[in-house]
Amino acid sequence: MRPYGIIVPTLLEAEILIRGVRGREEVSIQGKLFHKGVLKGRPVVICLCGIGKTNAAHGVTLLLERFQPTFICLIGVAGAYPSSGLAIGDIVVSEKEIYGDEGLLLETGLQTMKAIGLPVAVIGTVCCFNEFPLHMPDELRGHRHKGAFVTVSACTGTLKRGREIETRFGALCENMEGAAVAHVCLLNNVSAAEIRGISNVIEDRTGKPLDKAAIAKAADKVQSFFLERML
């Protein structure tokens, strides 16, 4: 039976899931750790991909090629945009992922890849620019908080920038991996979903690290949500 693929950026965002895996086997491939076994009666492979788009694309590619999962779910934490109405610990489900940095940056703001006529992927006759769709499992369709996510290379640290991004893309939150996973899964014709826990609400920051307790709360809640709703 082909497994269910779970991709998670960091160990903190995966500890509860990994502890629940029965008959667990740890496999290291090209520096990425994979945990194989059975989770709540379902064969799974959990990939700890690392932070950022390149790590996510690398991890999900290895997961698809080596383990041939039937489905991919990306789990992690995210920063909520100022007008989203989201609070720390809220769970959000992605309807689509958007590359927030790809394009041409002008004084007037970002011109997307579509605006400058350069697709980042061509699948058959379809050109894909900044946006990539994600699958909405039946178990999540009634969830209150769902919408567009933005993937960035640098986390947003000012209210002004946060409001600009959320307005441009109509997005709820941002992360550093989602669009890369959605992109690779679309190229491989494998359905992918994404669930995030809110670890912070974007504000004017001084450069200090985010609250570790808030990150841990978001990580624990999103894993528990996944276990309850998806398995």
- pLDDT tens, 10-32? 999 999 999 999 999 999 999 99
CATH of residue 77: 3.40.50.1580
Interval 27-62: pLDDT, tens: 999 999 999 999 999 999 999 999 999 999 999 999
Residues 6 or more apart from 155 whose CB is under 8 A from it?
79, 174, 176
Residue whose C-alpha is closest to residue 49's, from 143, 219, 154, 180: 180
Range of the domain at 86: 4-230
Q: What are phi and psi of 103, to 5 degrees?
A: 145, -150
CA distance 178 to 13: 14
Q: How many domains does the chain have?
A: 1
Two structure tokens written together for 47? 């990939």
Q: Of 226, 42, 15, which Cα lies nearest the Cα of 33?
A: 15
Backbone angles phi, psi at 88, to 5 degrees: -60, 130
Q: Is 0.85 surpassed by the pTM of this model? A: yes
d(CA 183, CA 133): 9
